[in-house]
Amino acid sequence: MSNSPNNINLPRLKSTFEISSNIGKTKGGGLTRLPLSKEDKEMRDVFIGWLKESGLSVRIDDLGNIYGRRDGKNKNAGAVMIGSHLDTQPKGGRFDGILGVLSALEIIRTLNDYNVETERPIEIVNFTAEEGGRFGVPMVSSGVLTENLTKDLVYSLKDKEGITFEQSLEEIGYKGEVKNRFTDFNIEYYVEPHIEQSPTLERNQKSVGIVQGVEGETRFKVLVKGQSTHAAHPPSERKDALVAASEMVIAIDSLREQFKGLSPAIGTFEVHPSLQTITAGEVEFVYIVRHFKDDIRNKAIEIIKERLQESAKRRKVEISIGQYLEIGSTKFSEEIINLIGEGAKDYGYSHQKILSSAGHDAKYINEIVKSGMIFAPSAEGLSHCEEEFTSYEDIEKTANVLLHVVETLANKTSNSFHEVPSKGLRN
């Protein structure tokens, strides 16, 4: 065969998903495949086998990222990198970033079926620890590769058992070499398919999401200090940290009514002591503020701080607010955005432009490589849970659009399109 393929092989892709869905399978039908765990190692071993069977040259870098390279006619041309991540949250879903890696593999297999030789090389990537469910920080590998995080910091991250990221890499045998990082190779494009993690596409009855960019986010840790006392203590005299923190949570959540598109969220919430007849002396919680426009997000953050301090004063408690993460908003490559739209239109798939509230590796990679994302609908917008579901019909559509984008980019013979990757939006 030599004709260009029009469609991926859905039965084969479905079979690949079924194998993945049994590695780290939970009783509720989801996955627990934490980064660098024994389940992750098992999946990685299987994945590398698939890469080699597809004729790809495999390498592993010092962060455990796995790359499979398919050479093009011009081995030195800027390559097209595709993929996402195979790790999950505790009791996470079967699709999430896994969609990106397995559909990328299917693109390679389909091109092989038709003996298609592209001008540019194509690389598949599985990024390590995109999910922060084990080591607490998300997107650590892409963060290091783009110099948003330091390698020393990431290596020193610990899980709940006190095992470091570096120890885990060594234990499962996936501590590769610095020279294997994609940043030491000529990569011009990165395309990441993923489930939406929001109900927008499903509600609008669209099959393909053309991702314009990723909302910026800022995370804060809050410590509220009051006074523990017996619950019989007069309410007017109490310094109840739990009541104060609860008021603060409502204040944070209510700000979404003031700013369109603002997405505040509460993360961990810990009460000390947590007893039936004792008022809380301390409460610790995390809150996250997301918006596509950095200036609006920053304005909301200042208002939140003012309201929390007002609550603390009114409830006679002390409060400390510490910022520990800030990621600016991202605008993806117009070239890739246009190709995704072109592919969806050519196939006759319903589609719409969309924003991502959640962070993804493409968020960081976009700072150094022209990047884009394709979203598949997620039932009820559920993700990072056992109920997460994306139909194989929609998976096929996402993969076919990816095939169009990858083939088009990989067959470019000149750099006729000039664009500087954006590190964030100018507001």
Q: Determine the average pLDDT of the residues in 98-111.
A: 98
Residue 415 pLDDT > 70: no
Counting Cα atoms < 13 Å in the Cβ hemisphere of 175 gives: 11
Residue 425 pLDDT > 60: no
Condensed to tens digits (0 to 9), the pLDDT of residues 273-288 reads: 999 999 999 999 999 9
Question: Where does the pLDDT of residue 327 fall: very low under 50, low under 70, confident under 90, or very high at 90 and above?
Answer: confident
Gap between the Cα atoms of 154 and 144, Å rounded? 8
Give the residue with greater pLDDT, 413 vs 116.
116
* Last residue in a domain, options 308, 327, 346: 327
Residue 328 pLDDT > 90: no
Q: Specify whether 209 is located in the same domain as 238.
A: no
Question: Where does the pLDDT of residue 417 fall: very low under 50, low under 70, confident under 90, or very high at 90 and above?
Answer: very low
Q: Specify whether 114 is located in the same domain as 255.
A: no
Q: Which two tokens stand for residue 226?
A: 């009051």
Percentage of the chain exceeding pLDDT 70: 96
Condensed to tens digits (0 to 9), the pLDDT of residues 218-243 reads: 999 999 999 999 999 999 999 999 99
Q: Specify whether 137 is located in the same domain as 33.
A: yes
Q: Specify whether 307 is located in the same domain as 356.
A: no
Q: Which two tokens stand for residue 117?
A: 């030789």
Contact of 128 with 87, CB cutoff 8 Å: yes
Q: Specify whether 110 is located in the same domain as 26.
A: yes
Q: Determine the average pLDDT of the residues in 245-262.
A: 96
- Picking from 297, 123, 334, the residue whose alpha carbon sits closest to that of residue 220 is 297
Q: Specify whether 39 is located in the same domain as 97.
A: yes
Average pLDDT taken over every residue of the chain: 94
Q: Specify whether 307 is located in the same domain as 363.
A: no
Residue 319 is part of a domain; what is its CATH number? Answer: 3.30.70.360
Contact of 209 with 378, CB cutoff 8 Å: no
Residue 128 pLDDT > 60: yes
Residue 398 pLDDT > 70: yes
Within a domain: 418? no
Q: Provide the domain limits for residue 366.
A: 10-213+329-410
Q: Specify whether 362 is located in the same domain as 376.
A: yes
Within a domain: 426? no
Within a domain: 198? yes
Question: Where does the pLDDT of residue 418 fall: very low under 50, low under 70, confident under 90, or very high at 90 and above?
Answer: very low
Residue 294 pLDDT > 60: yes
Q: Specify whether 30 is located in the same domain as 162.
A: yes
Q: Specify whether 85 is located in the same domain as 233.
A: no
Q: Specify whether 209 is located in the same domain as 251.
A: no
Question: Where does the pLDDT of residue 2 fall: very low under 50, low under 70, confident under 90, or very high at 90 and above?
Answer: low
Contact of 199 with 366, CB cutoff 8 Å: no
Gap between the Cα atoms of 248 and 307, Å rounded? 7
Question: Where does the pLDDT of residue 414 fall: very low under 50, low under 70, confident under 90, or very high at 90 and above?
Answer: low
Q: Determine the average pLDDT of the residues in 41-60.
A: 98
Tell me, rounded to whole angstroms, the distance of Cα 191 from its chain centroid: 13
Q: Is 35 exposed, middle or buried (0-12, 13-18, 19+ CB in 10 A)?
A: buried
